[in-house]
Amino acid sequence: MFRSQLPSVDAAAVPADAILLDVRENDEWAAGHAQNAVHIPMSEITARVAEVPEGDRVHVVCRVGGRSAQVTQYLIAQGIDAVNVNGGMLDWEAAGRPVVDGNGGDGYIL
């Protein structure tokens, strides 16, 4: 599947109750992430794929969309309904979506 064929959605259009899988590294996550996101770094996704929430579409996010595009391709190959979040957490924050740090306070995107 070519990246241009990859299912994607703009950060502002991700439903508030969507499953959001953040695939950034631990330091990026600790600095700032979406409040109800699930964190599995890209480097661990193959070993931890069983931890990806089941049921609804999985919205995959990273900083700008490159890593999440790769993970989205992998998840689709595993039979998981996944979609890449265009623009990643930078667009998420720019759209005014909430970002929290590792302690639940105001976060920022690394």
- List active site positions: 62
CB 75 within 8 A of CB 60: yes
DSSP H helices in 1-110: 26-31, 45-48, 66-77, 88-94
Task: Write out the two tokens for 36.
Answer: 């109800």
